Chains A and B, each alone.
Chain A
Amino acid sequence: MSGAELGLAASVFLACAVEAVEALTILLAVGTTRSWYSTFCGAGVALVALAALVAALGPALTSLPIDVLRVGVGGLLLVFGLQWLRKAVLRAGGLKALHDEDAAFAEQTEAAHSAGAPAGFDPYSFTVAFKGVLLEGLEVAFIVLTFGANQHRIGLAALAAAAAVTLVAAGGIAVRAPLARVPENTMKFAVGVMLTSFGTFWGAEGAGARWPGNDAALLVIVPSLVAVSLLAVAMIRRSAAPPTHEAPAMVSG
C-alpha cells in the first residue's frame, strides 16, 4: 500500500469513526427508550441510501478527466477539511464546547420519551434513526467518493469506512452506552488536517501547479499544517486565558 493509499484509508477510517460514534449515540437513545426494530430499520435504510449514492456517483466521478477531478475533489476536500479543522481548533482552544456524547444521549432520550409510547412499528424511531445515520453519513460518503475517485480506489475507501462502522458498532454493543471516551476532537483534528492537506495537494495539481518533489510534498504539507493548527490553538488559548495575577508594578532604578 502506497503512502497516498495509506493516507486515504486512515482519513476515511477516522472521519467515518467520528461520525459513526455520533450516529451510535442517536441509535442507542431511540433504541433503548422506544423500539430497536424500528431503529434498526431506519438505520438500515439510511445505510442502503448512502451505499447507493457511493455506487451511483463513484463510476461517474472516476470517468472524469484527471485534472478536472483533482480540482473538484481538491476544492471539496479543502472546504470540508477547513471546516473540520476550524471546529477542532476552536474546541481545542476552548472557544467551542467539546462534543459530549453523554449529554447528546440524555437529550435524545428525553426527546424520545416525550414523543409518546410506541405501538407496533414506531415511525418516530425509524425517522430519527434514518435522519441521524443519513446526515452523519453524508459527509463521510462524500469523503469516500472524493478520496476514492481521485486515486481510483473507491473500494479501499469503502472498506475503510465499513471497518470504522463495524468497530464503532462492536464498541457500542460491548459497552451498551454512548462511546463518550472516544477522543472525538483529536480525531476530528486529524481528519481536518488530512482532508485539508490532500485537498491542497490535489487542488493545486488539478489547477496546473507542479509540486516540488511530487508526492513527497505531502510529507511537508501535513506536518506544516499540524504545526500551523497547533500554533493557532496556542494563540487562542493565550488570548482567551484570564489574567492569573496583577501585572507587576514598574520599579524604577
Chain B
Amino acid sequence: MSGARAVLLGIWDFVAGDDWRVALGVVAALAVTALVATSAVAAWWVLPVAVVALLADSLRRAGRAARR
C-alpha cells in the first residue's frame, strides 16, 4: 500500500469511525438543511430529526450485530 493511500485510509478511518453511514448521513442532513433554508420553510428542525434517526439506525444495526 502506498504512503498516500495509507494516509487517506487513516483519515477516513479517523473521521468515519465504526459506522461510515453516520458520517454520510450527517453530510446529507447538512445538505438538506441548506436546501430547505433557501426556501420559505424553517430549516432548524432538519438536523435534530436527522440526528435522532441516525443514532437510532446506528444503534439498531450495532444491536443486531452484537446479538448475532
**Band of interface residues on A:** 35 or more
Contact A96 B66 (CB under 8 A): yes
* Measured CA separation A221–B37 after assembly (Å): 19
Asked, given contacts A203-B30, A236-B63, whether A86 binds B48 with beta carbons under 8 Å apart, the answer is no
B55 touches A228 (CB 8 A): yes
Q: A229 to B31: give the CA distance in the assembly, Å.
A: 25
Interface class of chain B by DSSP:
helix
Partner of B22, one of A83, A200, A217: A83
Known: A200-B51, A209-B33, A236-B59. A79 touches B38 (CB 8 A): no
Query: CB distance B37 to A207 under 8 Å?
Result: yes
The CA-CA distance from A93 to B55 in the complex, in Å, is 14
Contact B47 A203 (CB under 8 A): yes
Indicate if the CB atoms of B44 and A212 lie closer than 8 Å: yes
Task: Give chain A residues whose Cβ lies under 8 Å from the Cβ of B26.
Answer: 75, 78-79, 82, 203
Interface residues of A (CB under 8 A from B): 71, 74-76, 78-80, 82-83, 85-87, 89-90, 93, 95-96, 138-139, 196, 200, 203-204, 206-212, 217, 221, 224-225, 228-229, 232, 236, 239-240
Q: How far is the CA of A182 from the CA of B31 in the complex (A)?
A: 39
Chain A residues in 8 Å Cβ range of B56? 232
- Closest residue of chain B to A239, judged by CB? B63
Enumerate 24 A-B pairs (CB-CB under 8 Å) in ascending A order. A76-B15, A78-B47, A79-B15, A82-B51, A82-B54, A83-B17, A90-B59, A90-B63, A90-B66, A95-B66, A96-B62, A196-B51, A203-B29, A203-B47, A204-B43, A204-B44, A207-B33, A208-B33, A208-B34, A208-B37, A209-B44, A209-B47, A217-B44, A225-B51
- Find chain B residues with CB under 8 A from A95 CB: 62-63, 66-67
The smallest beta-carbon distance between B50 and chain A, in angstroms, is 9
Are B44 and A224 touching (Cβ within 8 A)? Answer: no
Which A residues lie within 8 Å of B46 (CB)?
204, 209
**Beta-carbon contact of B58 and A207 below 8 Å:** no
8 A-B pairs besides A96-B62, A209-B44 with CB distance below 8 A are A75-B26, A75-B27, A82-B54, A95-B67, A207-B30, A211-B44, A228-B55, A240-B63
